[in-house]
């Protein structure tokens, strides 16, 4: 991995917010988006963080995104809601939907909120993690914003990396936060590799003849591989149906590839579920049980050569603490691309 | 695969019901369990079907299961319920919980029902599929009844095959029914291979030195492998937390291996979620969209050498139709094991 620069978190947030203001987003909403977008970098989800800023700006300039959305509840029943994002920035839509799910779960116990007419919203764990502050478990599903996965045995790109994230609060231990694409690698990771000039390991992508693909710059000559073969293909389909089709959002052939299209609304679909632990058992007891489970897992005997057992979310948690200590991480190519953007938008460059 | 015998479905159901009556279950409940258990064989989920009868009977005789359970709602809010199975047969408990979820989802839109103090209930798809008759999507999670999966990089068996099943109704097309263990192979499949005297393919299991394990009769010398490496490990953990820990049911070190223990209650945990399609959009529109998606997938161009693209649940659907035409499938070793059981219980043998 190439050397990382560090920059004060507030400075990076302010820079991102200024970029959004420069293209017409209100100061309050720009700040809101910037905080969530920078947070992706702080936890190491850099394929979904500030890296995406030039692309988001291109799509805003292409009028693919609504800068004054009326984000609203379209349909509602006690255990669910369907949020219409009115084609607003995904971060704003998903914050609204997640707050709705949390609010409902306080009284109904478990609330499922579907989302339509949204946009790319960054890493899945951002939203799955929000309910934890209310002693709730968060579960997030989304349709990815580009189809890079064919059906198992096929070559037509009809499926996306469709991620799932689940965040479970613990007591003394860090929370368990699973955030995974249903493909072996997320496409954001492929883009990051390309930007860094690194090769991909075998198993990430395959070409149309079924041969492994190593060069991330040739990613448009092949497709991503699902986890567990036909199982990951099945999971991706199911997430597409729940987060896309059920919400009246894009899925399958209707998915817009936002990496190459700067003008078409994506109608991105998501699901956020908030599960109120206190409705099932006393919260303190639950957290104690999670702690005990985490410790049993961590203290497992290991295979020869394995140094430590990792828990889902442990890496992100460590990177967040490191970022809070050292500043937000930035690769040199990313810094250059942000400063190119600054010149284009006529805003101050990052030092 | 060895040759399969066929037997009239009603005869197999009657046989299974008689076995349960012989060990003290009421005729009505025995019939109920038998129908669900035979259905597993009809859809090809034979590792979780009638094959399990001798084991269930052993555990009933060992007083590990409550034959007169008071299956009840322990806690409830509009969007959720926690069902206490009172250590009854898992099929009865899960039928109760699924009916509860469906009933609630009619008015609240989405209902999440957790289950504690249950037992092994057969294949996950049985319960995920039930809401479809009400134009609902079903989602099922469970903690497996034996730990055969260590943490990623570890060798202590702290996790189970923890399955997920999701069933989505379609219009003209067969429903999409995903039913997958979070391990490459379910342990039931290992047991079926052992009974048939077949070897396992590489990738199903590994021994404690990290070497592939092929002989299913040596399955206790190793462990199952998760799908997608650390991703499947993470999914298994999360399902264990949602279906086990959150419900006050067994997870991690508390899981009882019901393959070797005939006397200890398992406190099995499950989750069933019913999602009422009509709350999101008109049902007919939804089914049309699912059909279109299914057809796009099926008609995808294929990799060289691939004859057809399969949809999740298509295989089970075909096997069900075949079983309805030809009768329930039974392998010769399974027939023998059922007739040995008949002799032991002093009930008429299967012809």
By C-alpha distance, which of B333, B332, B321 is closest to B6? Answer: B332
**Helix, strand, coil distribution of chain B in percent, nearest 5:** 45, 20, 35
Among A12-16, A25-29, B25-29, B332-336, the minimum mean pLDDT is found in B332-336
Q: Is B53 on the interface with A (CB under 8 A)?
A: no
pLDDT > 70 fraction of chain A, expressed in percent and rounded: 99
Chain B residues with CB under 8 Å of A303 CB are 153-155, 208, 210
**Helix, strand, coil distribution of chain A in percent, nearest 5:** 45, 20, 35
Test the B interface: residue of A97, A212, A231 with most B CBs within 10 Å? A231
Would you tell me which CATH number, out of the four given (3.40.50.300, 3.10.580.10, 1.10.1530.10, 1.10.287.40), belongs to the domain B1-61+314-351? 1.10.1530.10
Cβ separation of A109 and B77 shorter than 8 Å? Answer: yes
Name the band, by pLDDT with cuts 50, 70 and 90, for residue B185: confident
In the numeric block, the tokens 């008689």 are attached to B18
Averaged confidence pLDDT in chain A: 95
Domain ranges of chain A: 1-61+326-351, 69-183+226-299
Cβ separation of A152 and B105 shorter than 8 Å? Answer: no
Cα-based distances in Å from B187 to A288, B48, B52, B74: 30, 10, 12, 31
- Give the side-chain half-sphere CA count within 13 A for A172: 7
pLDDT value at residue B3: 72
pLDDT value at residue B1: 44
pLDDT in tens, A147-157: 999 999 999 99
- Quick one: average pLDDT of A182-198? 86
pLDDT value at residue A2: 53
- Residue B259: other Cβ atoms inside 10 A: 17
Would you tell me which CATH number, out of the four given (3.30.1370.60, 3.30.70.20, 3.40.30.10, 3.30.160.100), belongs to the domain B67-183+226-299? 3.30.1370.60
Q: Is A277 on the interface with B (CB under 8 A)?
A: yes
Q: Least CA distance to A248: which residue of chain B? A: B281
Residue B86 main-chain phi, psi, to 5 deg: 50, 35
Q: Is B21 on the interface with A (CB under 8 A)?
A: no
**A28, exposed or middle or buried, with CB in 10 Å at 0-12, 13-18, 19+?**
exposed
Cβ separation of A253 and B296 shorter than 8 Å? Answer: yes
Dist. CA A127–CA A132, nearest whole Å: 10
Please, which residues have CB within 8 angstroms of residue B60's CB and are 6 or more apart in sequence?
B20, B23, B24, B25, B67
The pair of three-digit structure tokens given for residue B12, joined into one six-digit string: 């197999």
- Quick one: average pLDDT of B92-120? 98
Cβ separation of B77 and A112 shorter than 8 Å? Answer: no
By C-alpha distance, which of B19, B94, B12, B95 is closest to B60? Answer: B19
Q: Is B247 on the interface with A (CB under 8 A)?
A: yes
* B210 closest CB neighbour out of A80, A137, A304: A304
Nearest C-alpha of chain B: how many angstroms from A117?
Answer: 14
Cα-based distances in Å from B91 to B18, B71, B98, B181, B340: 16, 12, 10, 19, 24
Chain B residues with CB under 8 Å of A310 CB are 152-153, 230
Q: Least CA distance to B76: which residue of chain A? A: A279
pLDDT value at residue A1: 44
Q: Least CA distance to B225: which residue of chain A? A: A228
* A80 closest CB neighbour out of B110, B242, B251: B110
- Quick one: average pLDDT of A329-339? 94
- Over 90: is that where the pLDDT of A200 sits? yes
DSSP state at residue A254: G
Q: Least CA distance to B170: which residue of chain A? A: A241
The pair of three-digit structure tokens given for residue B160, joined into one six-digit string: 């189970």
The Cα diameter of chain A in Å comes to 57
- Over 90: is that where the pLDDT of B188 sits? no
* A300 closest CB neighbour out of B155, B276, B292: B155
The pair of three-digit structure tokens given for residue B222, joined into one six-digit string: 């190793």
Q: Is A336 on the interface with B (CB under 8 A)?
A: no
By C-alpha distance, which of B80, B51, B58 is closest to B336? Answer: B51
Chain B residues with CB under 8 Å of A238 CB are 166, 168, 176, 178, 312
Cβ separation of A108 and B79 shorter than 8 Å? Answer: yes
- Over 90: is that where the pLDDT of A209 sits? no
Chain A residues with CB under 8 Å of B112 CB are 79, 109-110, 112, 273, 275
Q: Please answer whether residues A332 and A5 qualify as being in contact, where contact means their C-beta atoms are separated by less than 8 angstroms.
A: yes
Dist. CA B269–CA B287, nearest whole Å: 32
Dist. CA B107–CA A81, nearest whole Å: 13
pLDDT in tens, B241-283: 999 999 999 999 999 999 899 999 999 999 999 999 999 999 9
Q: Is B238 on the interface with A (CB under 8 A)?
A: yes
pLDDT > 90 fraction of chain A, expressed in percent and rounded: 90
What does chain B come to in residues? 351
By C-alpha distance, which of B270, B338, B240, B296 is closest to B37? Answer: B338
Q: Kind and range of the H or E element at A201? A: none
pLDDT value at residue B309: 97
DSSP state at residue B151: P
Q: Please answer whether residues A95 and A32 qualify as being in contact, where contact means their C-beta atoms are separated by less than 8 angstroms.
A: yes
Q: Which CATH architecture has domain A69-183+226-299?
A: 2-Layer Sandwich (3.30)
Test the B interface: residue of A141, A251, A297 with most B CBs within 10 Å? A297
CA B34 to centroid of chain Cα atoms: 14
Name the band, by pLDDT with cuts 50, 70 and 90, for residue A233: very high
Q: How does DSSP assign A262-322, residue by residue?
A: SSS---EEEEEEEEEGGGTS-HHHHHHHHHHHHHHHHTS-B-TT---PPPTTHHHHHHHHH
The pair of three-digit structure tokens given for residue B154, joined into one six-digit string: 């570890």
Dist. CA B154–CA A56, nearest whole Å: 41
Q: Is B245 on the interface with A (CB under 8 A)?
A: yes
Q: What is the ipTM of this complex?
A: 0.96
By C-alpha distance, which of B158, B162, B159, B149 is closest to B223? Answer: B149
pLDDT in tens, A260-303: 999 999 999 999 999 999 999 999 999 999 999 999 999 999 99
By C-alpha distance, which of B8, B7, B27, B9 is closest to B17? Answer: B27
Dist. CA B65–CA B37, nearest whole Å: 17
Can you give B197-265 as a three-state secondary structure string? CCCCCCCCEEECCCCEECCHHHHHHEEECECCCHHHHHHHHHHHHHHCHHHCCCCHHHCCCCCCCCCCC
Q: Least CA distance to B239: which residue of chain A? A: A166
Q: Least CA distance to B175: which residue of chain A? A: A238
Chain B residues with CB under 8 Å of A78 CB are 78-79, 107-109
Cβ separation of B153 and A253 shorter than 8 Å? Answer: no
Nearest C-alpha of chain A: how many angstroms from B284?
Answer: 12
- Over 70: is that where the pLDDT of B2 sits? no
* A302 closest CB neighbour out of B107, B154, B279: B154
Same CATH fold assignment for domains A1-61+326-351 and A69-183+226-299: no
Nearest C-alpha of chain B: how many angstroms from A279?
Answer: 7
- Over 50: is that where the pLDDT of B204 sits? yes
pTM to 2 decimal places: 0.96
**What is the CATH topology of the domain spanning A1-61+326-351?**
Hypothetical Oxidoreductase Yiak; Chain: A, domain 1 (1.10.1530)
């Amino acid at each position: 991995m190439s050397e990382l620069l560090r920059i004060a978190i507030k400075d990076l947030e302010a820079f991102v917010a200024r970029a959004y203001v420069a293209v017409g987003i209100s100061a309050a909403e720009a700040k809101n988006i910037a905080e969530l977008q920078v947070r992706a970098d702080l936890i190491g989800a850099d394929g979904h963080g500030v890296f995406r800023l030039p692309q988001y700006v291109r799509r805003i300039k292409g009028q693919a995104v609504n800068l004054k959305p009326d984000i609203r509840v379209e349909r509602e029943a006690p255990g669910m809601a369907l949020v219409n994002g009115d084609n607003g920035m995904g971060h704003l839509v998903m914050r609204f939907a997640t707050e709705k799910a949390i609010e409902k779960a306080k009284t109904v116990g478990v609330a499922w909120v579907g989302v339509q007419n949204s946009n790319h919203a960054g890493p899945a764990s951002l939203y799955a993690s929000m309910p934890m502050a209310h002693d709730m478990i968060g579960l997030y599903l989304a349709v990815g914003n580009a189809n890079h996965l064919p059906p198992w045995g096929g070559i037509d790109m009809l499926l996306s990396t469709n991620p799932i994230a689940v965040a479970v609060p613990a007591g003394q231990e860090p929370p368990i936060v699973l955030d995974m694409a249903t493909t072996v690698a997320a496409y954001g990771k492929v883009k990051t590799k390309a930007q860094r000039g690194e090769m991909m390991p075998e198993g990430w992508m395959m070409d149309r003849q079924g041969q492994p693909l190593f060069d991330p710059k040739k990613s448009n000559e092949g497709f991503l591989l699902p986890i567990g073969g036909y199982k990951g293909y099945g999971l991706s389909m199911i997430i597409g149906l729940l987060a896309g089709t059920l919400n009246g959002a894009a899925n399958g052939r209707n998915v817009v590839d936002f990496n190459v299209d700067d003008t078409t609304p994506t109608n991105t679909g998501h699901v956020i579920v908030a599960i109120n632990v206190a409705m099932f058992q006393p919260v303190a007891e639950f957290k104690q049980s999670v702690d005990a489970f985490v410790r049993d897992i961590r203290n497992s005997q290991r295979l020869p050569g394995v140094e430590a057992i990792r828990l889902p979310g442990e890496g992100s948690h460590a990177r967040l603490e490191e970022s809070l200590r050292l500043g937000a991480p930035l690769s040199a190519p990313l810094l250059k691309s942000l400063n190119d953007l600054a010149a284009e938008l006529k805003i101050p460059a990052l030092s």
